[in-house]
Amino acid sequence: MKITAAVTEEKSGPFVLQELELGELAADEVLVEVAAAGICHTDLIVRDQWLPTPLPAVLGHEGAGVVQAVGSAVTGVAAGDRVGMSFNSCGVCPTCLRAHGTYCHDFFGRNFAAARPDGSSVLSRGGELVHGHFFGQSSFATHAVATARNVVKLPEWVPFGVAAPFGCGIQTGAGAILNSLRPPAGSSLVVFGTGAVGLSAIMAGAIVGCSPIIGVDVKPARLELARELGATHTIDASSGDVLAEIAKLTGTGADFTVETSGVTTVLRQAIDCLTPMGVCGVIGAPPGGAEVSIDVNMFFALGRTLRGIVEGDSIPEVFLPQLFELWRAGRFPVDRLMVEFDFDKINEAAHEAESGAVIKPVLRMGG
């Protein structure tokens, strides 16, 4: 069948809407007519080739829509079901078998290689392969091919435009708090970077009763929104001494920090501001090969922990319904981060995300 997709042709190039051919489903695959897709920081850094995803490719990994068809081995969903799409995993490696699919031994292959495990792609143009299957979906398109493992049924009361970003950015920030770090009520939390991931972490921190909750950024508008969504304090990192201010607000240093910016100097701050036995969760993705130095004595002697976190340690079919219920109850108002754009405005939406003018752009595929 013919579909329309936003193709990334070259490093740092624009998204180009093109007609592509979509081939037959494999046995474990699910065809979704995409209604909405969030634009995530990961889409943009892959477009810019910070990570070696092959091009040309169709990106997009926060899609939601309606199932149109399923492969012969699929039993969990059927045509007509409303679904969100999340990350992919193999299901059979040691970490997947322990319900930690976010650390699947083939996580890169299933999400960033933009191909099926056998190297094929469901997408083509003029007989030539176009890389698809990005995060098991490539949802910058009118139709996406996911797998039975990375689709989640959606309640009727969740709009597609709200549900779509839960598949990556929203669950990543919230899950870092609710699943990974699990701070007890009354513990101090500092979130570096108040984009979609950071603000989701702040809202989750408020849900579990962290205090103080400190948001750190360089954009005043985002810091103001952070205060509205649960931060008790904010710090403008463009002026003043961030570490001194955190020490002042926490007294002994932060119990928990979350680094979402992907800037290595900021990661060092997130480590250095920890109290003894404090924990830093690392979410932000810098370019491949980026390194950060730490004072080893100040790290091990204080019992500090540095913890990598992927996709908020989420089991999407379990965690996303919990987040949807929090959203419905008004306790997790992530829709305040979102601005919708028509699909053909994808480059405008990406620019607004990069400039910081919009926190979470959401593409509407149906106009």
Single-letter code of the amino acid located at 260: T
pTM of the model: 0.95
User: Does the pLDDT at position 290 exceed 90?
Assistant: no
Quick one: average pLDDT of 339-357? Answer: 96
107: tokens are 């996580």
User: Does the pLDDT at position 283 exceed 90?
Assistant: yes
User: Does the pLDDT at position 367 exceed 80?
Assistant: no
Q: What percent of the chain has pLDDT over 70?
A: 100
Pairing status of strand 29-38 against strand 143-147: antiparallel
Question: Given this model, what pLDDT does residue 53 score?
Answer: 95
Average pLDDT value over all residues in the chain? 96
The tens digit of pLDDT for each residue in 312-346 reads: 999 999 999 999 999 999 999 999 999 999 999 99
Give residue limits of the domains in the chain: 2-167+333-364, 173-310
How far is residue 303's CA from residue 156's CA, in Å, rounded to a whole number?
46
Question: Given this model, what pLDDT does residue 89 score?
Answer: 97
Nearest to 343 by CA among 357, 320, 329, 362: 362
How far is residue 81's CA from residue 119's CA, in Å, rounded to a whole number?
29
The tens digit of pLDDT for each residue in 142-200 reads: 999 999 999 999 999 999 999 999 999 999 999 999 999 999 999 999 999 999 999 99
Nearest to 137 by CA among 246, 267, 15, 30: 30
The tens digit of pLDDT for each residue in 70-106 reads: 999 999 999 999 999 999 999 999 999 999 999 999 9
Q: Are 281 and 261 in contact (CB under 8 A)?
A: no
pLDDT band for position 366 (50/70/90)? confident
Quick one: average pLDDT of 285-302? Answer: 88
296 CB-near residues (< 8 Å, 6+ apart): none
Q: Which residue has the higher pLDDT, 294 or 62?
A: 62
The tens digit of pLDDT for each residue in 196-225 reads: 999 999 999 999 999 999 999 999 999 999
Question: Given this model, what pLDDT does residue 191 score?
Answer: 98
Place of tokens 């892959």: 46
Fold of the 2-167+333-364 domain: Quinone Oxidoreductase; Chain A, domain 1 (3.90.180)
Nearest to 53 by CA among 110, 113, 128: 113
Per CATH, the number for 173-310 is: 3.40.50.720
- Angle (nearest 5°) at CA 59 between 123 and 142: 60
Quick one: average pLDDT of 277-306? Answer: 91
Rg (CA), the chain: 20
Question: Given this model, what pLDDT does residue 285 score?
Answer: 85
